[in-house]
Chains A and B, each alone.
Chain A
Amino acid sequence: MCGIAGILYKQAGTHEIGKTLIEMLDGCQHRGPDSTGFALYGEDKDQLQLRFIVPTEENARNKATDNIASLLARHNATIESEQSVGCSYQIAVNFDGDLLAFTKDIEEHAKLVSVGHTLDIIKDDGTAHELDSTYHVGEITGTHGIGHVRLATESAVRPEAAHPFWATGFEDIAIVHNGQITNYWKMRRRLERRGFTFHTDNDSELVAVYLADKLKQGETLDHVLETAIADLDGTFSFLVSTPNEIGYAKDNLAAKPMVLFETDDMIAIASEEVSLNRLFPGQSINSTEPAPGTFQTWARSI
């Protein structure tokens, strides 16, 4: 139960994506006051960027970061830089092994929420502006990003239950989702049989893994979204982001709202027009509402 937003600038170069997504999410914060999250894409870094959720209390936090350090050592990953902020612990590591096996092991022992060379996922309890004051999201520039506001319904209000979700085992892929996947367990068991592990009961995590799995098999984002609409039951509007693209898929019942606005320079997508209009105050925009059962993707020029 939530609101979603996404922005992609088509031209090369960096843009104020943090500030933009804060505005858009603040515009639909009424859809989800419990928690907020951002998946932001910036320059391609040499080191693998990892972000964990750790306790805020000092002793527990030190214990958690020590634990993470020993986990990394187990996989011959060396920490290049580290930073603790809010409920998170962000590190850059040198690692060139098997990412799937690496993250699978780490996720059994720590709350890993973002993995990638370009991606950073920031999520916590609170509103977009509250996250900004803790994590300085507004200062982050980049190429594109997606965001989410959450009203917790079936699971607790905890930072790790907030969106976006990274696709467990696959770097640089994130999703935000509004709706409910009704064949969740069927799809989850199908993926579990193929060796994937799930760390929450959140259906959005399923969507992320489902998409990333297919992408890693070499399928195009368009094709993956097309099969997602056929395979996933329920009501949903979701956004997916990769290092160079964002895309949406919408269920066949059109039960969850979504509007988009495209110019030569950018594509902005949100649950409600009020979020899009935040980017163009005082102006009317020619937004469109995607038809039920449709998908679309946009790539930035590199």
Chain B
Amino acid sequence: MGTIDLSQTDITSANAMIRDFGHDGQDVEIINPDARHNIGVGLVDPITVKVRGSAGYFCGGLSHGARYEIEHNAGWAVGDNIYSGSVVVGGNAGAIAGVAIRGAEIVVRGNMGSRAGQVMKAGTLCCGGNAAFMAGYMMYGGRIIILGDGAAKVGQDMSAGEIFVGGKIESLGNDTMIVDMDAAERDEIMEFLERYKMNYKGDFTKIINAGKKLRYANQEPRARPQPFFVSSNSNNYWNPKVQEDIWIKGEVGRYRIRGYGASKPVPHLNDIAFVKDVASRQYKPEELQDVNLKTTVGGRYGAKPLSLSMPVMIAPMSFGALSRSVKIALARASRLSGISENTGEGGMLDEQREEADQLIFQCLSGRLGWNVKDMQRADAIEIYISQGAKPGLGGQLMAKKVTPELAAIRGIPQGIDLRSPSRHPDVLGADDLVIKVEEFREATMHKVPLGIKMGAGRVNDDIKIAYKDGFDFVELDGLQGSTGAASTEVLENVGIPTLAAVQEAIDGLKEIDAGDDMDLVMMGGIKDGVDVVKMLALGADCTSVGTSAIIAGGCIACMQCHVGTCPVGIATQDKEHEARYDIDLQSQNMHRYFESLRWQIASITKALGYDDVHKVSRDDLVALTPEAADITGLPLLSEHPSLHEPELGLELLDRKAG
């Protein structure tokens, strides 16, 4: 057995040594652990790791197949997200023991902290002592065995799985019920306890989901298509979209859920313009090839950055919201155009991994489809905090889309109206996020860039936190960002416009002298290469396109994404509908669309007088409206110095003046 002394070794080196022992099939003991975080994270070999003392946060987290024996206590999130293997804690465990496990066996001989087994999908979490409040919070499956008492709200918002409590139960959570257990179940539990040498002879109370809140009482009706571009382009307050909203609310009697983003006028990139005399600059078409558009994202801490052929990414969109075929087509188009694809919430598909050269793997609060093996084959990792379409809320996937195949990859019961949690179990503040960042770094051996996806709320503060918490890049999504399903209240009204978001981000980073080492990727209403260049001139390092990509790839923008019977096979999991989607054709359409962006970006850059798109700056821009000037601090057209100094030769302005 190998030995690692944590009083002599930092955790990153220790984990590398543990992996080496694992590779050789040799067990390892950790001495002087002294409650340090992230011990044994990311191990994928079936060895035994003995921790001679107490472990800190995330011990054994994001591992696969290994066995951990912690002699004393464990901190928060012991055994985070394990697919197979086991963790035995000799003493007490902190909050969220066994969070998001998908098959592991976690045994805590003492007491365990609050929210144990949060969003777990499968496997067994067993506690010899008492469990603090909300044991089994939002669990999707698996089994929790508590030999002592269960504190308040046992099984709060659980969707499936079973909780067995030996002692007293202070109170039951929402939508749970007590049912009889049969002899076979008891035999299985006793066999489990015996295997882990836990002596218990008493009875159990069995708690399961009562099934009253898994589905909305009234489902979303299929409305007469009210296309996005119709509903966006009309009176701001009385328009066909409002009319449709009222009809649907009259039918379902609650908030309405729909796809797409905010469809109302807000200050955006079309309210600013380029300020140079574009027409007088002559160049030959072939010169465009020499304009540098190459963009790297995520090199801040020495990980291998994403290497993009232009400052464009494909926005995160889930397998779930979108069909498998669309995810494959997006991945292929990203490869053909040399940009990156993003998994979104629903896990990574093998075909998607094969098609995409550069794939970002996104981690959401429900940890749906999240696992260490896919992390280790991703080109970047992104922690989702929120998105522009619905800042502060979790994703929604209506039952029609939660098919057996989809339920399997996500690890959830099929046929429920899936409402993902709005918060990460282990990120309740910027301080916890620091430790989570470290866990992900350890699990990926510090090799892949780590990003954070944020909806635009209080950007000025959030961007500073992202910087201080050590992210390589930020994907920042304005109010206009779209979704597969969200309530109209948040879609239309929560968050700040993309234009304001980029400005706040730039200002915030400047306020803390952050320099430019953390890359800023802006999204939310980027519709063409012109927008891309404007965004870069405002200070972004890269952009991300979602809505425009799928429109190029066949979406008719009918806003019925939530219904699940998408007429063009995009936002559906129904095989018959999906069969209408032609992967070859649509991936080529998207590829050609991306190439049109490339041409636009290159020609504008050239026309502005640069040989590198990253040289464009705020000096190249002017605000066309007082609102845009106010938001961005750019000079307003009527006050621009070139109006008063004709030698600056602004053709646009000359014409206007003349």
Residues of chain B with a CB closer than 8 A to A278's CB: 34
Q: Is B205 an interface residue (CB 8 A)?
A: no
Known interface pairs A32-B431, A235-B428, A256-B429; A274-B468 also in contact (CB < 8 Å): no
Looking at chain A's contact residues, the main secondary structure is loop
Residues of chain A with a CB closer than 8 A to B464's CB: 152-153
Most chain B CB inside 10 Å of its own CB: which residue of A2, A30, A152, A257:
A257
Q: Is A76 an interface residue (CB 8 A)?
A: no
**When each residue 27-40 of chain A gets 1 if its CB lies under 8 Å from chain B and 0 otherwise, what string results?**
00011111000000
Residues of chain B with a CB closer than 8 A to A151's CB: 430-431, 434, 465, 468-469
Q: Is A1 an interface residue (CB 8 A)?
A: yes
Residues of chain B with a CB closer than 8 A to A277's CB: 34-35, 53-54
**When each residue 258-302 of chain A gets 1 if its CB lies under 8 Å from chain B and 0 otherwise, what string results?**
010000000000011110111001111111110110000000000
**When each residue 184-219 of chain A gets 1 if its CB lies under 8 Å from chain B and 0 otherwise, what string results?**
000000000000000000000000000000000000
Contact A284 B114 (CB under 8 A): no
CA–CA, A180 and B32, complex, Å = 34
Contact B95 A274 (CB under 8 A): no
Residues of chain A with a CB closer than 8 A to B32's CB: 281-282
Known interface pairs A277-B35, A291-B132; A284-B7 also in contact (CB < 8 Å): no
CA–CA, A157 and B464, complex, Å = 11
Name the residue of chain B whose CB is nearest to the CB of A31: B431
Q: Is A254 an interface residue (CB 8 A)?
A: yes
Name the residue of chain B whose CB is nearest to the CB of A155: B461
The number of chain B residues touching the other chain, given as a range, is 35 or more
Which residues of B (150-173) have their CB < 8 Å from a CB of A? Answer: 151
Contact B461 A154 (CB under 8 A): yes
Most chain A CB inside 10 Å of its own CB: which residue of B32, B428, B511:
B428
The number of chain A residues touching the other chain, given as a range, is 35 or more
Tell me which of A30, A31, A274, A284 contacts B72 (CB under 8 A): A284
The minimal Cβ–Cβ distance linking A231 to chain B, given in whole angstroms, is 20
Q: Is B417 an interface residue (CB 8 A)?
A: no
Contact A257 B56 (CB under 8 A): no
The minimal Cβ–Cβ distance linking B189 to chain A, given in whole angstroms, is 26
Contact B73 A273 (CB under 8 A): yes
Q: Is A3 an interface residue (CB 8 A)?
A: yes
Q: Is A255 an interface residue (CB 8 A)?
A: yes
Residues of chain B with a CB closer than 8 A to A88's CB: none
Known interface pairs A278-B34, A281-B34; A289-B431 also in contact (CB < 8 Å): no
Known interface pairs A254-B113, A254-B132, A289-B95; A282-B35 also in contact (CB < 8 Å): no
CA–CA, A260 and B71, complex, Å = 19
**When each residue 429-469 of chain B gets 1 if its CB lies under 8 Å from chain A and 0 otherwise, what string results?**
11110110010000000000000000000100100110011
Tell me which of B71, B114, B429, B461 contacts A179 (CB under 8 A): B429
Name the residue of chain A whose CB is nearest to the CB of B511: A156
CA–CA, A276 and B158, complex, Å = 34
Known interface pairs A256-B428, A289-B132; A282-B34 also in contact (CB < 8 Å): yes
Name the residue of chain B whose CB is nearest to the CB of A282: B32
Q: Is A241 an interface residue (CB 8 A)?
A: no
Contact A283 B53 (CB under 8 A): yes
CA–CA, A257 and B95, complex, Å = 8
Tell me which of B53, B114, B428, B512 contacts A282 (CB under 8 A): B53
Q: How many pairs of A and B residues are in contact by the CB < 8 Å rule?
A: 111
Residues of chain A with a CB closer than 8 A to B435's CB: 30-31
Name the residue of chain B whose CB is nearest to the CB of A180: B429
CA–CA, A3 and B32, complex, Å = 23
Contact B431 A286 (CB under 8 A): no
Contact B72 A292 (CB under 8 A): no
Name the residue of chain A whose CB is nearest to the CB of B54: A284
Tell me which of B91, B94, B115, B434 contacts A31 (CB under 8 A): B434
Name the residue of chain B whose CB is nearest to the CB of A2: B431
Contact A259 B94 (CB under 8 A): yes
Contact B76 A257 (CB under 8 A): yes
Q: Is B37 an interface residue (CB 8 A)?
A: yes
Q: Is A103 an interface residue (CB 8 A)?
A: no
Q: Is B319 an interface residue (CB 8 A)?
A: no
Residues of chain A with a CB closer than 8 A to B94's CB: 257, 259, 273, 289
Q: Is A143 an interface residue (CB 8 A)?
A: no
Looking at chain B's contact residues, the main secondary structure is loop
Q: Is B75 an interface residue (CB 8 A)?
A: yes
Q: Is A90 an interface residue (CB 8 A)?
A: no
CA–CA, A254 and B113, complex, Å = 9
CA–CA, A236 and B377, complex, Å = 38
Residues of chain A with a CB closer than 8 A to B53's CB: 277, 282-284
Q: Is B36 an interface residue (CB 8 A)?
A: yes
**When each residue 46-62 of chain B gets 1 if its CB lies under 8 Å from chain A and 0 otherwise, what string results?**
00000001101100000
Residues of chain A with a CB closer than 8 A to B461's CB: 153-154
Tell me which of B7, B72, B75, B114 contacts A281 (CB under 8 A): B7
Contact A178 B132 (CB under 8 A): no
Q: Is B86 an interface residue (CB 8 A)?
A: no
CA–CA, A280 and B132, complex, Å = 27
CA–CA, A299 and B32, complex, Å = 32
Contact B91 A284 (CB under 8 A): yes
The minimal Cβ–Cβ distance linking B438 to chain A, given in whole angstroms, is 8
Contact B95 A254 (CB under 8 A): yes
Residues of chain A with a CB closer than 8 A to B34's CB: 274, 277-278, 281-282
The minimal Cβ–Cβ distance linking A113 to chain B, given in whole angstroms, is 23
Which residues of A (144-177) have their CB < 8 Å from a CB of B? Answer: 151-154, 156-157
Interface set of B (CB-CB < 8 Å, partner A): 7, 31-32, 34-37, 53-54, 56-57, 71-73, 75-76, 91-92, 94-95, 113-115, 132-133, 151, 428-432, 434-435, 438, 458, 461, 464-465, 468-469, 511-512
Extra contacts besides A153-B461, A291-B151 (10): CB < 8 Å: A1-B429, A30-B435, A151-B469, A179-B429, A259-B94, A271-B431, A272-B57, A273-B54, A287-B92, A289-B132
Interface set of A (CB-CB < 8 Å, partner B): 1-3, 30-34, 151-154, 156-157, 178-180, 235, 254-257, 259, 271-274, 276-278, 281-289, 291-292
15 A–B contacts, CB within 8 A, in A order: A1-B465, A156-B511, A157-B512, A178-B431, A254-B113, A254-B132, A274-B36, A274-B37, A281-B32, A283-B53, A284-B53, A284-B72, A286-B91, A287-B73, A288-B92
